[in-house]
């Protein structure tokens, strides 16, 4: 996620911040992006209250604790006005390195959190193991800082880089081991007079800055300062070794001259100086090894940054090509949109025409419905007439059948009479023949009536079908 920090009245946005990101990481990222040096403190302002954050605090966790009031929290990166006091202002009872350590612990409220980095006994364990992890962590955070600048050019102009979260940003370690001239605020060189504990300072003067020299990384603490407690053991060991020699020499050469004793003391002093120089050179070698490891880690970090920049450039090129293709597609889409608009106008005119046709069809449909209603009334009337005619035909058929039955009865009776009256055969035969002719005629009439009824039925059915089709 993003974290907004106010830096000198301007709001900077730091991207890639997680719950595990500390205030120290954020300060390193902003210092790396802006290319500024100095001692900075991260302040949390909530409404009218301000609170100094330690390097190990997590800003995201602080925001999550506030919940809905997180929008009222502002983070401010403020430069500390108090700087390291020059050696000339320190009291004569302590060494310059001890006084610098005391001034740093007094000026920074969170300096106690960096005691491990300033302890020379832990330097070899801290720098080799933590260099790559801290460098990669800070580089991942620095790569997402929204305001980027050329840190290399600014470093060349300033000649120094910020050292740590609450440390003096103008401390840099010199690679020259030869004694140089010191200014008013410089620290004595290794070839100068020994310190209070009899050892010389491994630090050299900057020549014009008047500040201690330390490794230049933004993401690593400065090298440990030489404290009197660290250098005092070699002197004590030397004293333990020298005392038996003095006693032995006094036993053997009790009557030696004062010149030989003076030469022996001078020799012991030179041996102590050589031993102190060897110890200081060993510490310088340790610092140089740490600086070499730092630069190797920084080189790897820069390689990772270059790879990341190359990947980002490829991504940006891909996005550009995708955007160009999208623009081309949008051009074709605009043409299609214009065609669709014209088609829409055409369809609207066609819809208007179809609506007018639909209105005409509705009027014609109403007329057809009226015609159908009239035809249905005619069909019903024809059906009633047909039913009436059919009923009359049935009555006529029934009357004809009764007449035929009656005639048949008469014929039977006549036959019976003919059989019974053989005597009147001729007369009856004639009557029978007449009756048979009459019967034949009646049958013909009956067949004719039946044919007429069938034809009438066919005509009625044809009319009914025609009405249904209409």
Take residue 273 and report the two structure tokens written for it: 């100086």
| Domain shared by 230 and 377, yes or no | no
Averaged pLDDT score across all residues of the chain: 69
Does 373 fall in a domain?
yes
CB 201 within 8 A of CB 226: yes
Whole domain around residue 393: which residue ranges?
368-469
Q: Is the pTM of this model over 0.85?
A: no
More confident residue, 286 or 219: 286
**DSSP letter, residue 12:** E
pLDDT, position 81: 64
Gap between the Cα atoms of 418 and 233, Å rounded: 181
Instruction: For residue 126, count CB atoms less than 10 angstroms from its CB and return exposed for 0-12, middle for 13-18, buried for 19 or more.
Output: middle
Are 90 and 18 contacting, i.e. CB atoms less than 8 angstroms apart?
A: no
Whether residue 121 is predicted with pLDDT greater than 70 in this model: the reply is: no
Cα–Cα distance, 70 to 56 (Å, whole number)? 20
Q: Which of 31-35, 164-168, 463-467 has the lowest mean pLDDT?
A: 164-168
Handedness of CA 436, 438, 443, 447 (dihedral sign): positive
Closest CA to 445 of 389, 395, 392, 404: 404
Let me know if residue 11 belongs to a domain. Answer: yes
The better pLDDT of the pair 227, 318 is held by 318
Q: Report the alpha-carbon distance of residue 363 to residue 361 in Å, rounded.
A: 5
Per-residue CA distances from 159 to 75, 173, 203 (Å): 29, 12, 18
Mean local confidence (pLDDT), 68-85: 76
Q: Do the domain assignments include residue 390? A: yes
* pLDDT for residue 231: 37
Q: Are residues 248 and 373 in the same domain?
A: no
Residue 383 falls within a domain, yes or no? yes
Q: At residue 144, does pLDDT exceed 60?
A: no
Identify whether residues 386 and 238 lie together within a single domain: no
| Rounded CA separation 239/233 (Å) | 10
Give the whole-angstrom CA distance, residue 33 versus residue 37.
Answer: 11
> What integer pLDDT is reported at residue 359 of this predicted model?
92
Last residue of a domain, one of 252, 278, 305: 252
Closest CA to 76 of 92, 53, 103: 53
Q: Which two tokens stand for residue 204?
A: 């050299």
What is the predicted pLDDT for the residue at 257?
A: 66
Query: Mean of the pLDDT values across residues 63-78?
Result: 88
Q: What is the pLDDT of residues 202-259, one digit of tens each?
A: 333 333 333 333 433 333 333 333 433 333 333 333 333 434 445 545 554 555 568 8
Same domain, 245 and 378: no
Give the least confident one: 79-93, 316-330, 450-464: 79-93
- Determine the Cα–Cα distance for residues 283 and 200; give it in Å rounded to an integer: 12
State residue 69's pLDDT score. 87
Task: Indicate the number of domains in the chain.
Answer: 2
Last residue of a domain, which of 252, 276, 295?
Answer: 252
CATH number of the domain to which 19 belongs: 3.10.20.90
Alpha carbon distance 389, 409 (integer Å) = 30
Confidence bin at 372 (pLDDT 50/70/90): very high
pLDDT bracket for residue 291 (50, 70, 90):
confident
**Cα–Cα distance measured from residue 296 to residue 220, given in angstroms and rounded to the nearest whole number:** 13
pLDDT of residue 249: 52
- pLDDT score at 358: 92
The pLDDT assigned to 186 comes to 34
Q: Is residue 332 in some structural domain?
A: no
Q: Check: CB of residue 37 under 8 Å from CB of residue 218.
A: no
The whole-number pLDDT of residue 341 equals: 87
Domain-located, residue 158: yes
**CB-based contact 59:26 (threshold 8 Å):** yes
| 227 and 376 inside one domain | no
DSSP 194-223: --TTS---S----SSS-S------SSSPPP
Q: Which residues, at least 6 apart from 90, have a Cβ–Cβ distance to it below 8 Å?
A: 96, 99
Domain check: are 44 and 176 in the same one? yes
Residue 12 gets the label, from left (phi > 0), alpha (psi -120 to 50) or beta, of beta
**Mean pLDDT calculated for residue range 11-27:** 90
Q: What is the rounded distance in angstroms from the CA atom of residue 400 to the CA atom of residue 391?
A: 14
Q: Does residue 355 belong to any structural domain of this protein?
A: no
3-state helix, strand, coil in the chain (%, to 5): 65, 5, 25
Q: Give the end of a domain, one of 252, 286, 313.
A: 252
42-51, 103-112, 113-122 — most confident range: 42-51
170 lies in the same domain as 22: yes
Of 383 and 84, the structure prediction assigns the larger pLDDT to 383
Q: Average pLDDT in the 443-448 region? A: 88
What residues have CB less than 8 Å from 354, skipping those under 6 apart? Answer: none
Task: Note the pLDDT of residue 206.
Answer: 39
Q: Between the ranges 71-85, 188-202, 385-399, 420-434, where is the mean pLDDT highest?
A: 385-399
| Strand extents, DSSP E, 53-174 | 73-79
Residues 19 and 151 in one domain: yes
Judge whether 246 lies within some domain: yes
């Amino acid at each position: 996620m993003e974290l907004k920090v106010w830096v000198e009245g301007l709001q900077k946005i730091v991207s890639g911040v997680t719950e595990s990101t500390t205030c120290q990481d954020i300060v390193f990222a902003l210092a790396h992006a802006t290319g500024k040096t100095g001692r900075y403190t991260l302040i949390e302002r909530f409404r009218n209250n301000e609170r100094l954050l330690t390097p190990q605090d997590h800003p995201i966790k602080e925001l999550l604790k506030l919940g809905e009031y997180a929008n009222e929290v502002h983070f401010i990166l403020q430069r500390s006005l108090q700087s390291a006091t020059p050696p000339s202002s320190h009291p004569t009872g302590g060494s310059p390195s001890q006084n610098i350590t005391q001034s740093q612990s007094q000026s920074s409220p969170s300096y106690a959190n960096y005691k491990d980095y300033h302890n020379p006994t832990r330097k070899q364990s801290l720098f080799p193991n933590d260099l790559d992890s801290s460098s990669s962590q800070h580089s991942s955070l620095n790569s997402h800082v929204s305001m980027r600048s050329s840190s290399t050019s600014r470093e060349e102009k300033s000649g120094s880089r910020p050292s740590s979260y609450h440390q003096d940003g103008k401390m840099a370690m010199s690679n020259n081991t030869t004694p140089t001239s010191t200014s008013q605020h410089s620290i004595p060189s290794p070839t100068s007079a020994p310190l209070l504990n009899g050892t010389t300072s491994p630090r050299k003067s900057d020549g014009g800055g008047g500040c201690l020299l330390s490794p230049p990384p933004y993401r690593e603490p400065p090298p440990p300062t030489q404290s009197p407690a660290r250098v005092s053991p070699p002197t004590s060991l030397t004293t333990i070794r020298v005392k038996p020699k003095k006693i032995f020499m006094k036993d053997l050469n009790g009557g030696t001259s004062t010149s030989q004793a003076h030469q022996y003391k001078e020799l012991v002093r030179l041996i102590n100086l050589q031993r102190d120089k060897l110890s200081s050179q060993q510490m310088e070698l340790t610092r140089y090894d740490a600086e070499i490891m730092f630069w190797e880690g920084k080189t790897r970090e820069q390689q990772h940054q270059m790879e990341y920049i190359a990947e980002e450039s490829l991504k940006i090129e891909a996005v550009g090509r995708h955007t160009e293709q999208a623009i081309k597609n949008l051009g074709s889409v605009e043409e299609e949109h214009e065609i669709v608009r014209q088609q829409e106008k055409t369809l609207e005119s066609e819809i208007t025409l179809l609506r007018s046709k639909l209105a005409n069809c509705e009027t014609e449909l109403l007329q057809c419905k009226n015609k159908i209603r009239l035809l249905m009334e005619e069909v019903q009337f024809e059906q009633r007439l047909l039913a009436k005619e059919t009923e009359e035909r049935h009555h006529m058929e029934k009357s004809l059948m009764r007449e035929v039955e009656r005639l048949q009865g008469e014929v039977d009776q006549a036959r019976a009479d003919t059989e019974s009256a053989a005597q009147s055969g001729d007369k009856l035969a004639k009557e029978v023949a007449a009756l048979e002719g009459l019967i034949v005629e009646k049958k013909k009439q009956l067949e004719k009536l039946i044919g007429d009824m069938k034809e009438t039925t066919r005509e009625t059915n044809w009319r009914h079908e025609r009405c249904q089709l209409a």
